[in-house]
Structure formats: structure tokens, C-alpha cells
């Protein structure tokens, strides 16, 4: 299929390529049972007929050497399970299930189920209780955890809002005699309430909910300030820890993809005790409790770039207990010790180089049996790599599964000193591996045993060339190096090149399986995945280099990477294709305007085109200020010089120079980069005689729902191929 782009009629084969790749599943989660003899893995696959992902379960039984004894004969559909948790002694499994309301299909219903080996023990209609709103299952707030005695479960939900009604409304006799505490509050039905922004629309105020299962009674712990989430029990079974984010009445900033939001780790008891465990001016996430009761979490300074390097810190179990017994509400910062510190550039470890922690969360279970080792995964330049850190000596060891092939290793679970992880690369779909901590050799490394085989991919993908490029754009700059990944057909011909910078800008591409990248390969394109300066995984100095330099340093890095790829690989220099979304869209729009004769065609997905106008309507107004070079503030008078600076670093200032055909893929529900950014840019191009097309989808910033992904990816391929045909 490698020459599809050369065909006179190409769409039939393009569609066939996409359908082939949608049959390849991805791993979403995995856990080990208490004695590490059973793997329960969760997978997702695109279901084109249903127009959504189908989630399913596959179990594997392991012997003492981690070899497979047996596995499930078939996958089990679990698409309606949004949260699950197995109790500590494995007596029960709790499930929160989402379903459509039979009376109103636009509304959701939630059920809490508890299963044992004998069958269904509890099934509770949470909507019927009318004590809270929707249950949260997202990565920011979502929680479901058991107490150590297996009698309580905790989860997070939307706070119940008191009903409202118009000031003037005819009432029934029953309404007149309703107690005052239950009467609707007049005139409040149109009150504006900020939510948590992109992909968290409608999520406004969270509460912690505890269910005592023997009596099926519920307690709403609504005294935690801010927006609590990520809650779990401490070993005593009566104390909860979690994260809560600061909230504002107006002007709340978006949360997803933003690890910089002011927040703190807290603990609470059923009796109403509330304590703060982390320091001031911090952004925290992912609290994890070791078997000995010690508490670990990730933290960085609040504000600044939306993602950056994190510390891994610890608070000893004894110190938590002392605080709970004291009258102090906040803990002494000195009691929180740093296990892994922020890395400015790089750190030599026993078996390699370490660039710091950038992961969004730690594995749900990440500790050795003796609590002395913690296992985690994080972006490191062009890969996701995995590490074991000794929590006492702070020694780090790289345990990435890359002895046989380059790729990315993500730890899913640690139980009974066995590690379960997924491995994939641009040429190899995800597969499960297991290893024993005891197999870790002194100078680093670990023995991995494959649990599941990867799905079969077309030979052009499996045999493609993947190479890491280490690049230096400006030797005089305080940060001069960056990386890119070349992914192209392993043949001698010259190929069109997709120049593809990532979004963020503080994120990174990794050598892990990607349907998009495989799709471009299958239709005959090579890809250049650019981790320009400002990307994560290369030290915190790289992240902080880009603010005040966007629209220049990142653009120059992409141009420099393009030229180096032309020098090193079999690329057709007359067929250089620009493709990117969000900040990647910002960059490809810049490149097409600054270098109008170098590139051939552009596809931009929800691109940032004008920071000046975006700063007033995006859910991340702070992003515009920070990336342009100053701290975010909405206080005081408007600063016209700053507005002018925002405009000057934007792609729209180069719109009059654009010559190449440009397609824009926009989401009408995008709260991060509102769709008018793309429309404004399209109007400018059209007025200047540029061939332009706009696709508008009823989706959010990611454009990732199955029908939308299908349409925008196929239309992107059609647009690119049409404008480079011989």
C-alpha cells in the first residue's frame, strides 16, 4: 500500500488502510491479584459501527516464573463500567456502572455494584438517592477505593445543586406546604457557575462520598474546600487522603493537561477532621500510600508552564498520625522529604541518564512489599521509560524493557514484588510484560517476560525505520539541543514527509504505538515527530526555555529539523507536508507563513492562530501570558503593549505570506482553543487567495471521538494526497 498517494483514485485504499488499523486494540489498564498469579488487563478498540470505543477485559494466569498457564478464551465487554476496584483481601469487587436513563436518554444513570465470588451482593441506584450529581471517572478527579476492613468504598461526584425556579410561578397545593429546607430557591436557575474547562465541561463542584456497604448508607463529605479528587483510604480504614484544587467564583482556569494549578494534598476523617499535608504555592497530584502507611505524591511549583518537571516527595506515616492528633491544620513543610528532585538538565544514574519526572500520575499500585521501592514511568526524550527508586537511599535504576527493541515501557501495577507493564513502539502495538523486582541486577536492568503478544500490523509498519535525531539549533542559547523521531518506510525510494510538531507545547512525542503515525506510514508517507525546545522529558531547563520565545525558537527548531531530515533520509523535498494540532497547529501555521516556498500543504487541527484574541476566551488564558513571557494576572488595567506582543508571536501576522493549500479541522465544543481561532485564520487566507477548507466537528479540543477521528483523519489524508500528486 506504500504508493497510495501516487494513485489516480486513492480514497478507497486510504479508507481500507484506516479500517485495517482500527482493528488493533490498545491497553488501557492492568492489575495483578494479591499473589501476582493473575493478570486482569483492560483493552480498548475502535468500534466503527457503534461510533465509540469498546472496552473489554482479558485475564491471564501466570506460573511462578511468570509464564502463561492459561488466558481468557474471549474478551468480556466492560464498556459500561466506568470505575472498578477490588477489595484488599480480594473478597469483593466494586463497580460503578454508567447507563442511559430509560425515561430521558440524554441523562445518565449511575449504579454502584459490589460483586463476590458467589455473585452480586449489592446494586444501588445512585441517582435514586438524590444526594449528589454525576460520578467522576476522569483522570483528574476520578476515584474508587476500599477501606482496609472491606466495609467502605469512597468515590467522587458532582455536588448536588439546590433546585431553583422563577421568581413568579404558580404553585400546586403540595408545593405550598413543602418544608422550607426543600423548597426551590427562586431566581437562581440562570446563575453562571464556572466548570473545570476543556473535557471537564459541566464538572463544577466535587464532593467526596463514602458508602458503608453493610447498611448501604452514604455520607457526603462536603467540608473539603476547593475541588477534591483522587481520594483513597489510609491503612487505618478511617482516614482519607486526596488532592483538592483551588477554585474561584469566576475565572476558573481549565484543569486537563495542566499540572500547574494551585492545589494541596489533604487528609480527612469521617468525624470531620481536615488537615493539609503539602506546602503552599504547590501544584500536587497522584497521592499514593505505601504498605507501611507512608504517603508519596508528585509536586511542582504552582503557576508557570502548564507542564514541567515534578518532585516525588514522601510524608512518613508517623507524621501523618501526629498531624491528625494535633490542633494544627497544616503540616510543617520540613516533614515532607524529597525522594526524586527536579532535574534541570540531566542526572547520571547507575545505568543511564535521567531527565526528571514528567508523568501525569504514578501507577495506582507502585510499591514493593517492604515499601522500600517505588516504581514509575515517565517521558524521557523520545521514549517513555520506567524506573525503580529506593525510597531510603534515593537511588534510581532504569528498568525499561528495551534490550531487544527500542520503544516505550509504562508500568501498570506492582503487586507482591511483581511488575506488570505495557510495551509498544511506532512499529509494534501494545503488549503486556511482567517482571520480578528480585530479577533486577545490581548495575541496572530487569528480566521481562512477555504476557500478551502484539496485534499484527501491516508489514510496511512493522518493518519501518525508526531513528532518533539529536539536534542542536542554536549553540549560543542556554538550551540548544532538542530531539526528533524519524518514522519512515524502510525502502530506497524518496517519500513525502509529514512534518509533525506536537501540541502543548510542554509535552512530547514518544516512540510508542500511534494509529495516526501508522496510518501515514501505510499510505506512503514518512513522518518527522519533532520534540522542539520546550518539550518535556529533556530536563526542566528545556521546558522553561520556551516561554517568551514561542513563535520563534519553536518555529526555528521545526525548520531546522526539517532540513536535517532532508539531509539524512530519502525524502522528496518537493513534498513536505505540515500536520499538527493545538500548539502543533500554531507551529505549522507559522511555518507555512514564514517559509512559504519550503512546504507543500498544511493540515491544522484546532490551531492557535491569535494569542491576543484567545487570551480572552480560552479556558487557559494564563497559557497566553506565560508563553508570551510574563506572569498571568487579570488584575488592574489592560496593558496594550502585552496585547500587541501576543499578536506579534501569532501565526496570523504571517497569513498574508501563506501560499500553500490549508485545511483546518475545528471542534465546535473546544474550550481550549475556541474554533473561531481557525475561522479567523481561514478568512484571512481566503481573502489572500489561498486555497482553504474548514471542517467543523461537534467535538472538543482533542477531536478524538471515533466518528470525528475517522472523518478528520481521512479528510486530512485526502487533502494531503490531492495536493502533492505527481
Non-local CB neighbours of 42 within 8 Å, separated by 6+ positions: 27, 28, 29, 30, 55, 56, 57, 78
Task: Tell me whether residue 280 is exposed, middle or buried, using C-beta atoms within 10 angstroms of its C-beta: 0 to 12, 13 to 18, 19 or more.
Answer: exposed
User: What SS3 state is found at 88?
Assistant: coil
- Is 590 one of the catalytic residues? no
Neighbouring C-beta atoms of residue 481, cutoff 10 Å:
17
How far is Cα 489 from Cα 127, in angstroms, rounded to an integer?
53
How far is Cα 453 from Cα 352, in angstroms, rounded to an integer?
28
User: What SS3 state is found at 198?
Assistant: coil
- Sole residue written with cell 508563553: 627
How far is Cα 392 from Cα 292, in angstroms, rounded to an integer?
13
The residue annotated as part of the active site, out of 535, 542, 701, 702, is 701
- Is 134 one of the catalytic residues? no
The residue annotated as part of the active site, out of 29, 294, 670, 699, is 670
- Sole residue written with cell 497559557: 623
* Alpha-carbon distances, residue 258 vs 286, 356, 640 (angstroms): 14, 18, 27
Angle 70-75-76 (CA atoms, 0-180°, nearest 5)? 120
DSSP secondary structure of 635-678: -SS--HHHHHHHHHTSGGGGGGG--S-EEEEEETT-SSS-THHH
**Residue closest to 419 by CA, chosen among 88, 72, 66, 70:** 66
Grid cell in block for residue 139:
483522570
Angle 433-435-438 (CA atoms, 0-180°, nearest 5)? 175
Grid cell in block for residue 35:
499473589
Q: Give helix 11-22 / helix 515-522 axis angle, nearest 10°.
A: 140
How far is Cα 694 from Cα 673, in angstroms, rounded to an integer?
15
- Is 459 one of the catalytic residues? no
**Residue closest to 469 by CA, chosen among 386, 558, 595:** 558
How far is Cα 264 from Cα 285, in angstroms, rounded to an integer?
8
Grid cell in block for residue 51:
461510533
Query: Which residues, listed in sequence order, are joined to residue 266 by a DSSP beta bridge?
Result: 242, 276
Spell out the alpha helix ranges (H) of 72-142. 126-129
Q: How far is CA 169 from the centre of its chain?
A: 46
Q: To 10 degrees, the CA torsion angle through 603, 607, 613, 616?
A: 150
Non-local CB neighbours of 494 within 8 Å, separated by 6+ positions: 570, 571, 572
Angle 138-205-507 (CA atoms, 0-180°, nearest 5)? 40
How far is Cα 183 from Cα 151, in angstroms, rounded to an integer?
35
The residue annotated as part of the active site, out of 512, 514, 582, 618, is 582
How far is Cα 106 from Cα 713, in angstroms, rounded to an integer?
28
How far is Cα 53 from Cα 33, in angstroms, rounded to an integer?
26
Compute the chain's Rg from CA coordinates: 26
Residue pair 226/244 in contact by the 8 Å Cβ criterion? yes
Indicate which residues carry an active-site annotation.
Answer: 582, 670, 701
Amino acid at each position: 500500500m506504500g504508493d497510495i498517494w501516487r494513485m489516480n483514485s486513492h480514497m478507497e485504499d486510504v479508507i481500507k488502510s484506516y479500517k485495517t488499523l482500527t482493528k488493533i486494540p490498545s491497553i488501557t489498564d492492568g492489575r495483578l491479584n494479591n499473589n501476582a498469579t493473575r493478570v486482569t488487563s483492560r483493552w480498548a478498540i475502535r468500534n466503527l459501527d457503534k461510533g465509540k470505543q469498546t472496552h473489554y477485559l482479558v485475564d491471564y494466569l501466570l506460573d511462578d516464573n511468570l509464564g502463561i498457564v492459561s488466558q481468557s478464551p474471549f474478551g468480556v465487554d466492560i464498556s459500561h463500567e466506568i470505575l472498578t476496584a477490588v477489595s484488599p483481601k480480594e473478597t469483593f469487587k466494586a463497580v460503578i456502572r454508567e447507563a442511559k436513563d430509560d425515561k430521558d436518554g440524554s441523562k445518565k444513570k449511575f449504579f454502584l455494584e459490589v460483586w463476590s465470588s458467589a455473585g452480586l451482593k449489592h446494586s444501588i441506584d445512585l441517582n435514586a438517592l438524590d444526594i449528589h450529581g454525576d460520578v467522576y471517572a476522569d483522570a483528574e478527579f476520578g476515584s474508587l477505593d476500599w477501606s482496609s476492613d472491606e466495609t467502605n468504598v469512597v468515590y467522587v461526584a458532582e455536588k448536588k445543586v439546590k433546585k431553583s425556579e422563577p421568581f413568579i410561578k404558580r404553585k400546586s397545593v403540595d408545593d405550598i406546604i413543602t418544608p422550607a429546607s426543600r423548597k426551590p430557591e427562586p431566581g437562581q436557575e440562570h446563575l453562571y457557575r464556572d466548570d473545570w474547562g476543556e473535557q471537564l465541561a459541566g464538572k463544577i463542584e466535587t464532593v467526596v462520598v463514602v458508602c458503608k456497604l453493610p447498611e448501604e448508607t452514604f455520607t457526603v463529605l462536603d467540608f473539603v474546600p476547593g475541588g477534591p479528587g483522587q481520594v483513597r483510604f489510609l491503612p487505618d480504614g478511617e482516614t482519607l487522603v486526596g488532592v483538592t484544587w483551588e477554585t474561584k467564583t469566576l475565572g476558573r482556569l481549565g484543569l486537563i493537561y495542566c499540572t500547574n494549578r494551585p492545589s494541596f494534598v489533604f487528609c480527612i476523617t469521617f468525624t470531620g477532621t481536615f488537615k493539609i499535608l503539602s506546602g503552599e504555592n504547590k501544584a500536587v497530584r497522584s497521592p499514593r500510600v505505601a504498605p507501611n502507611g507512608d504517603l508519596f505524591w508528585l509536586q511542582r511549583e504552582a503557576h508557570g508552564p502548564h507542564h514541567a518537571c515534578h518532585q516525588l516527595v514522601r510524608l512518613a506515616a508517623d507524621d501523618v498520625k501526629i498531624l491528625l492528633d494535633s490542633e494544627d491544620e497544616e503540616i510543617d513543610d520540613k516533614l515532607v522529604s524529597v525522594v526524586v528532585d527536579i532535574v534541570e538538565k540531566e542526572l547520571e544514574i547507575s545505568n543511564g541518564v535521567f531527565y526528571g519526572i514528567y508523568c501525569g500520575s504514578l501507577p495506582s499500585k507502585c510499591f514493593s512489599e517492604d515499601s522500600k521501592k517505588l516504581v514509575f514511568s515517565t517521558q524521557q526524550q523520545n521514549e517513555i521509560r520506567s524506573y525503580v527508586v529506593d525510597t531510603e537511599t534515593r537511588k534510581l535504576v532504569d528498568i525499561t524493557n528495551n534490550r531487544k527493541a527500542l520503544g516505550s515501557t509504562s508500568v501498570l501495577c506492582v503487586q507482591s514484588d511483581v511488575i506488570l507493564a505495557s510495551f509498544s513502539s511506532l512499529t509494534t502495538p501494545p503488549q503486556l510484560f511482567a517482571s520480578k523486582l528480585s530479577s533486577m541486577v545490581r548495575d541496572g536492568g530487569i528480566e521481562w517476560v512477555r504476557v500478551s503478544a502484539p496485534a499484527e500490523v501491516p508489514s510496511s509498519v512493522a518493518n519501518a525505520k525508526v531513528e532518533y535525531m539529536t539536534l542542536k539549533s542554536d549553540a549560543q542559547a542556554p538550551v540548544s539541543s532538542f530531539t526528533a523521531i524519524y518514522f519512515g518506510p524502510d525502502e530506497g525510494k524518496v517519500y513525502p514527509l509529514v512534518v509533525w510538531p506536537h501540541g502543548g507545547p510542554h509535552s512530547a512525542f514518544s516512540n510508542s504505538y500511534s494509529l495516526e503515525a501508522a496510518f501515514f506510514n501505510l499510505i506512503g508517507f514518512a513522518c518527522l515527530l519533532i520534540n522542539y525546545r520546550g518539550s518535556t522529558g529533556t530536563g526542566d531547563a528545556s521546558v522553561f526555555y520556551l516561554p517568551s520565545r514561542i513563535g520563534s525558537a519553536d518555529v526555528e527548531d521545526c525548520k531546522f529539523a526539517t532540513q536535517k531530515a532532508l539531509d539524512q533520509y530519502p525524502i522528496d523535498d518537493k513534498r513536505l507536508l505540515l500536520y499538527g494540532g493545538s500548539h502543533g497547529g500554531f507551529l505549522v501555521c507559522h511555518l507555512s507563513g514564514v517559509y512559504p516556498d519550503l512546504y507543500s500543504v498544511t493540515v491544522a487541527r484546532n490551531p492557535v492562530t491569535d494569542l491576543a484574541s484567545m487570551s480572552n476566551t480560552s479556558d487557559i488564558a494564563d497559557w497566553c501570558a506565560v508563553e508570551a513571557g510574563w506572569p498571568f494576572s487579570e488584575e488592574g488595567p489592560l496593558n496594550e503593549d502585552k496585547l500587541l506582543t501576543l499578536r506579534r508571536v501569532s501565526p496570523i501576522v504571517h497569513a498574508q505570506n501563506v501560499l500553500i493549500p490549508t485545511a483546518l479541522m475545528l471542534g465546535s465544543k473546544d474550550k481550549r482553543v475556541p474554533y473561531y481561532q481557525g475561522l479567523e485564520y481561514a478568512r484571512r487566507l481566503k481573502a489572500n487567495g489561498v486555497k482553504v477548507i474548514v471542517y467543523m466537528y461537534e467535538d472538543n479540543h482533542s477531536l478524538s471521538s471515533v466518528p470525528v477521528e475517522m472523518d478528520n483523519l481521512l479528510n486530512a489524508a485526502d487533502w494531503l494526497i490531492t495536493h502533492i500528486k505527481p
